[in-house]
Structure 1
């Protein structure tokens, strides 16, 4: 897999509130946190840009609501912030897409001459997928490290229920098959960086 020298790693919503299984339910990709940490480590040691995205939920019942303990980054992410040799950005948002947060992610990427982004984080079929779709629409070369993302079981219309694995696969197929992003493994991304 080809990786641009200045490709930005965008770490989406890796927040403590997602550990509240009583709220979210069953998740997939149990190795995702280790893969996210590995991506951050490699990006930082290579001096590449890293963007940390935090969802500041406006819902009173959300574990991710602004000001709550769950709003903070998971410990392994928080301890890595500010440790890289390259540029770092914090984006906060209240909607699904990191491109609709503060500061303006698209403007920062463009001003920095960055045309490729690698996405990792939570949830595969929500904020990761929405950010990937919008990034693709905005003309960025988007790569999703699938096994560095995860999601949860979900109930939709008509009582339909899909498991986390099904939802993750559906998101991956839509993104990759629809041309919004290339969906790959963490190992492929790391091999592309290490060359």
Structure 2
């Protein structure tokens, strides 16, 4: 795997509201936050571009709604914002894809001559997966650091319930097997980025 010198790290929705266990339920990948922090540190120390994405939920009861403390980034992310030597962008969105936020992520990447994005964040099967799919559709090479993402147990139609691990694996298979993104580990990304 090759990580381009100007590859952008896209940190998706690493917000305090995802700590509200009573709202979200059981999660997977307990080391994801450490892995996300390691990726941000590596990108910033190499002066590579970092994009921080924040979900501004329009749902009144959402822990991610603007004005609620859960809308803010987790402290380890907030402490790192503005600390790198490379370009940095804040994208806010109300839908799943970071490419449908403000400012226009795709335009920003193209204007900077960036063709590869590395994705980390929350939730694996929601905003990370949607952003990765759109990246691929828009002609960007997407890499997902799988263990730098996490999600939660979820119930769907017909009473079907899937665990966070099952949902994350299904996302990884769809993205990787479907050709939308290369799904790898944080260690793979850090090794290739050196």
1:44 paired with 2:39, answer no
Q: Which residue of 1 aligns with 2:135?
A: 135
Q: Which residue of 1 aligns with 2:69?
A: 69
TM-score, normalised via structure 2 length: 1.00
Q: Which residue of 1 aligns with 2:28?
A: 28
Shift of 1:18: 0.0
Shift of 1:128: 0.1
Q: Which residue of 1 aligns with 2:86?
A: 86
Q: Give the alignment of 1:36-185 within 5 angstroms.
A: 36-185=36-185
| Displacement over 2 Å in runs of 4+ | none
Shift of 1:38: 0.1
Shift of 1:97: 0.1
User: What does the per-residue CA deviation read over 1:82-135, in whole Å, with 9 as the maximum and x for residues that have no partner?
Assistant: 000000000000000000000000000000000000000000000000000000
Number of aligned positions between the proteins:
194
SS in 1 for 2:80: coil
Q: Which residue of 1 aligns with 2:191?
A: 191
Name the CA distance, whole Å, in 1 between partners of 2:109 and 2:66. 26
Gap regions ≥5 residues in structure 1: none
User: What does the per-residue CA deviation read over 1:56-80, in whole Å, with 9 as the maximum and x for residues that have no partner?
Assistant: 0000010000111000000000000
Gap regions ≥5 residues in structure 2: none
RMSD: 0.3
Q: Which residue of 2 aligns with 1:17?
A: 17
